[in-house]
């Protein structure tokens, strides 16, 4: 019964996105706008609010999130912290890169890998869901290079087949101190795909499609959206305090640790922190930035909480003050949201080290995008894996740290 309630609640938040899209002004041109999103290349940074429209992007987000829920139910996996994180990450990135068309080849590839290994698909479900970060590989090859849709599908399937092996291996490098381990993995895969395309004379261009309109409406609607989680989880607020004492390293399932209501309460607070950061630094609410908040919210069931995310965000903000970049620029703004992948570093070593990790993360994340040509949507996951590896390597050498 408890599992059914979790599915209903998480599913309700995905359905709410679809309803918002239907009710949002300008939804009359939905079919054309949604088509533009489906056939977009989706390379970083492609804001679906701008490529299509806000209504079409919201509906796309809800649909992709529901695909995630369907996978959880189909594989007979529980709606736990990790799967909640995966569902919200799917929905978030469906605002700027993922579509129902480009996610399924990677998922199919992971399923084939499970079949080859005679492994239950549910054991690789998280790799399949998070591995959809490589959706732009499918879209670029299918729609951007003229190679044909099935060429894109084929390469997407191949990437899915190799992802589980790489994700398992690379987890050991950062010891779980970067929460986006599959994003770290996808960075390497995207780099290899980009290298191959360059060998064929194709150099993927990383666009900057960045929506800046409808700020008041987006700010109010999604503040209410995340605040509703705080209200829903309010009865579990006292138990949520116990979550805030955990470092959050992989694998830390908050639902298993303290229950669903404290987790939802934490998710809402973390979401509001993301919304507040965007507002305070003067950023914009759009597909990529809201995608960042959605990812923070999802991982607030799986490692992030109000005490371990703020040092990373503060560090990235400080980094913007001492660099050539502004905090409101797309790169630093998204780094402050997605860079909370390093929250376990602050959770384990304290806020001061967390701030320093945020500063280092900003310098790395602004560098690595061209390595994978924008075909790994989890660019901060790639950078976070590198930074996490750096910090854990140093700590183990000088302080004899053992996980």
Q: How far, in Å, are 69, 130, 375, 383 from residue 192 at the CA level?
A: 30, 18, 10, 16
Whole-angstrom distance, CA of residue 302 vs CA of residue 10: 15
Could you identify the residue written with the tokens 């770290």? 184
Per-residue pLDDT of the chain (403 residues; tens, 9 = 90+): 688 999 999 999 999 999 999 999 977 788 899 999 999 999 999 999 999 999 999 999 999 999 999 999 999 999 999 999 999 999 999 999 999 999 999 999 999 999 999 999 999 999 999 999 999 999 999 998 889 999 999 999 999 999 999 998 888 888 888 999 999 999 999 999 999 888 888 877 889 999 998 999 999 999 999 999 999 999 999 999 999 999 999 889 999 999 999 999 999 999 999 999 999 999 999 999 999 999 999 999 999 999 999 999 999 999 999 999 999 999 999 999 999 999 999 999 999 999 999 999 999 999 998 889 899 999 999 999 999 999 888 877 776 655 4
Direct distance between the N- and C-terminal alpha carbons of the chain, in angstroms, rounded to an integer: 35
Q: Which residues contact 199 (CB under 8 A, 6 or more apart)?
A: none
Which helix (H) or strand (E) segment is 90 a member of?
A: helix 81-93
| Beta bridge pairs of residue 46 | 209
Domain residue ranges of the chain, discontinuous segments joined by +: 2-199, 215-399
pLDDT confidence of residue 1:
62
Q: Are 128 and 141 in contact (CB under 8 A)?
A: no
Q: What is the pTM of this model?
A: 0.95
- Please report the DSSP string for 141-188 in residue order: IIIISSS-HHHHHHHHHHHHHHHHHHHHHHHHHHTT-SS-HHHHHHHH
Structure token digits, residue 3: 């599992």
Whole-angstrom distance, CA of residue 66 vs CA of residue 70: 6
């Amino acid at each position: 019964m408890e599992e059914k309630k979790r599915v209903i609640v998480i599913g309700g938040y995905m359905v709410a996105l679809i309803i918002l899209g239907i009710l949002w002004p300008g939804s009359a041109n939905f079919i054309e706008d949604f088509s533009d999103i489906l056939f977009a290349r989706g390379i970083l940074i492609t804001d679906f609010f701008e490529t299509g429209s806000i209504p079409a992007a919201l509906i796309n987000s809800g649909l992709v999130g529901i695909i995630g829920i369907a996978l959880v139910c189909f594989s007979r996996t529980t709606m736990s912290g990790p799967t909640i994180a995966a569902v919200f990450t799917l929905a978030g990135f469906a605002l700027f890169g993922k579509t129902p068309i480009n996610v399924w080849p990677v998922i199919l590839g992971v399923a084939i890998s499970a079949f080859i290994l005679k492994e239950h698909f549910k054991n690789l479900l998280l790799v399949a869901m998070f591995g959809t970060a490589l959706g732009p590989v499918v879209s670029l090859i299918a729609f951007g290079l003229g190679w044909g849709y099935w060429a894109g599908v084929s390469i997407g399937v191949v990437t899915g087949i190799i992802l589980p092996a790489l994700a398992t291996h690379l987890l050991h490098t950062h010891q779980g101190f970067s929460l986006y381990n599959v994003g770290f993995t996808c960075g390497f895969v995207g780099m290899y795909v980009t290298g191959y395309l360059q060998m064929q004379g194709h150099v993927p261009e990383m666009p900057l499609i960045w929506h800046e309109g409808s700020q008041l409406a987006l700010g109010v609607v999604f503040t209410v959206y995340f605040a509703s989680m705080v209200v829903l989880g309010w009865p579990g607020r006292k138990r949520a305090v116990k979550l805030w004492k955990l470092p959050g390293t992989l694998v830390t399932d908050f639902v298993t640790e303290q229950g669903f209501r404290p987790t939802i309460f934490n998710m809402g607070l973390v979401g509001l922190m993301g919304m507040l950061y965007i507002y305070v630094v003067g950023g914009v609410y759009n597909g990529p930035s809201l995608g960042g908040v959605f990812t923070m919210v999802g991982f607030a069931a799986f490692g992030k909480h109000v005490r371990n995310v703020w040092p990373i965000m503060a560090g990235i903000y400080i980094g913007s003050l001492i660099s050539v970049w502004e905090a409101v620029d797309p790169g630093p703004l998204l780094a402050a949201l997605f860079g909370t992948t390093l929250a376990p570093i602050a959770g384990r070593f304290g806020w001061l080290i967390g701030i320093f990790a945020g500063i280092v993360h900003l310098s790395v994340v602004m560098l690595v995008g061209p390595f994978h040509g924008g075909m790994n949507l989890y660019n901060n996951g790639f950078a976070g894996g590198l930074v996490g590896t750096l910090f854990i390597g140093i700590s183990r050498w000088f302080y004899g740290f053992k996980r």
